[in-house]
Structure 1
Amino acid sequence: MRYADLESGQVLRGVVSSVHNFGLLVDVGGITGLVNAAHLTWSHDITHPDQVARTGDALTVMVVDVDLDRERATFSLKALEPDPLAAFARTALGTTMTGEVIRVAPFGVFVRVAEGIAGLVRDHPAETGDLLRVEITAINLAHRRVTLRPLP
């Protein structure tokens, strides 16, 4: 296979040739492509690519970009999975749920409200691992944002 044979959207089988902090290098028929960390999974629980695959693992990947001049290919694993935010967007605003704080930022906390879905609660003092009862106040598919309001 040659880089010129690759097309965006093409689905291929390959083998992980190496695992790095920035992603996985996957060999497909003698061509190596990168699955960068952003293209691994929809899950917010993955902190290192070795949680997804190890050297020697067989994977199915989707081609997302090919640079013929530099002979580089970018692959994706998550492009093969349904976007959980698309399904979650059907959730009614005002819905209440309990979620776990998965990240603390200077401007608020991110709460996992469903698999692959985290929303922001602004200016909240919670810590990672805390459970918060929240209300969905906005879902913005275009910007991939879920806004939450803490409940007592």
Structure 2
Amino acid sequence: MDWQAESPELWAFLGSLHCGETLSGTVAAIERFGVFVALDDGPAHPLFPGVGFVTIPELSWRRFEAASDVVQVGQRVSGEFLQFDTWNAEARLSLRAMQPDPFQTFTESIAVGQELQGRVTKLVPFGVFVRVADGIEGLVHLRDLTSTPVEAPEDVVQVGDDVTVVVTEVDRETRRLSLSRRTAGRP
């Protein structure tokens, strides 16, 4: 569809937006691929429930199962304008950009070698995820679960177990926290 010809008012509105600008509106629809936002300013979208659109990763810094765990239809939201999606004639927004990244804040106060208390949240074939703070999880690789090799994480821990871990690596760019139980002096 030629949005510029079909909806010149919408095209002009979207073209007037600037990256980093804050846009507000109401959640109009929640889909498996993202959330439509009816913006306070600007025209309606001729095809979609809203001119604003938030992709799933841009909803929150925290891990969640469904978009409805973060927002509800009818909820007022504010997001940072990321880009003009010319293919869909949408304003791509980020809700998480409006909040400080809890990972960056958390990692400012920890160091490699530091011992932390945590709770096992998920078992995967290559290790376990441990929540060490609200919204902050790190991975204990299978090789770092114990001082002796194990074949599966469930041989050592279960979801919900409280564990002591040591920070082995902090990657602020990729937001990854590597942990070890072996270096925490645990069997």
TM-score, normalised to structure 2's length?
0.73
Aligned-pair distance for 1:67?
2.0
Cα 1:103/1:83, change in 2 over 3 Å: same
2:162 aligned with 1:131, yes or no? yes
Secondary structure of 1:9's match? coil
Structure 1 CA distance for aligned equivalents of residues 177 and 123 of structure 2:
15
Q: Which amino acid aligns with 1:76?
A: S
Distance in 2 between the 1:128 and 1:5 partners? 49
| CA distance in 2 between partners of 1:69 and 1:145 (Å) | 33
> Shift in Å at residue 40 of structure 1?
1.1
Map of 1:110 onto structure 2: 129
Contact kept? 1:15, 1:26, Cα under 8 Å: yes
Over the residues paired in the alignment, what is the CA RMSD in angstroms?
1.7
Deviation per CA, 1:112-147: give whole Å up to 9, x if none: 112222111001413333222111111011222110
Give the 4+ runs in structure 1 shifted more than 6 A: none
Q: Give the percent of matched residue pairs that are identical in Structure 1 and Structure 2.
A: 32
Specify the alignment match of 1:148 in structure 2.
179
Gaps of 5+ in 1: none
Establish whether residue 68 from structure 1 lines up as the match of residue 71 from structure 2.
no
Unpaired runs of 5+ residues, structure 2, are: 1-9, 45-49, 146-152
Matched, 1:98 2:117: yes
Deviation at 1:77, TM superposition (A): 0.8
Structure with higher strand content = 1
**Between Structure 1 and Structure 2, how many residues are aligned?**
151
Q: Residue type matched to 1:133 in 2?
A: T
Q: Is the 8 A contact 2:51 2:89 kept in 1?
A: no
Q: State the shift of 1:6 in Å.
A: 2.0
TM-score (norm 1): 0.89
Aligned to 1:33: 52
Higher relative contact order (CA 8 A, sep 6+): 1
**Residues 7-16 or 80-89, more deviating:** 80-89
The 1:127–1:49 alpha-carbon spacing in structure 2 relative to 1, beyond 3 Å, is: same
Q: 1:120 aligns with which of 125, 128, 139?
A: 139
